Structure 1
């Protein structure tokens, strides 16, 4: 998590106060498994362009299935802070604390959030970090295949292999 808040220490150093500021977001170090050089050349080509154009990739769920949520959308105009009211969730679908989701704005930008409560069906999801955009009624909420979207903030490097196997790593940070 890229934290835009800060800790402020009293002049006497006796107390510490947390000051939250809007804009906290996520970044990730991405490492693809070793791959044949001919496959890696396509990845490298796309990453070189993405360095300027930005990138949207699936957020790895580490083997955790988030199920089939239906077609959730923002419900009404009450989305704000850490509250995300949703409707359109499939009957019986359970969303759980620790699940990842995207809220997609009108321009198609995917904002990554983590769910902080559990529940079934339509309801209000508590998310972290606080919502960073305007998400009116009907904005898409993606639970089954969330993505991280943003800028590649690291150099793009790859070894020149002698065994024709290439590993690729880079860092992505949400830009919105």
Structure 2
């Protein structure tokens, strides 16, 4: 009998995300000076910050190398940011060693072939609904949201709710 991804959520303590196609929609705008501009969801950012504040290990492993992306993610409190990572297994192994991680405690959300090797190693591989077929085929959860349009918020909120760490009383905090 196959285990539902929801049964895996209570054990997750580490969340690893790709950037392009997951935290962004995968489209870049090329500026006249050659800079590549990406768009990220504020709602994904809120969920990332909430997870950081709740003590989750949040890690970014991306082949892209944009200092604006690094700054945005660092401002959310994310400390483990690997940009320009073309062999994502290396960074994953560093994280496993650093935090003494067990695969069943790790979620990885990716959308394309470079994410495949790491996704095969983690307990909860998942992807946005516009990920390539190869990634969808190994994902235990496919978000109903597209990359850059809330897929990160979707999975983080599910994990935090299952673990009782998503505060349903936000209004009381901000009155």
Tell me which interval the TM-score lies in, with the shorter structure as reference length.
under 0.3
Normalising by structure 2, we get a TM-score of 0.25
- Greater C-alpha Rg: 1
Which has the larger helix fraction? Answer: 2
Normalising by structure 1, we get a TM-score of 0.25
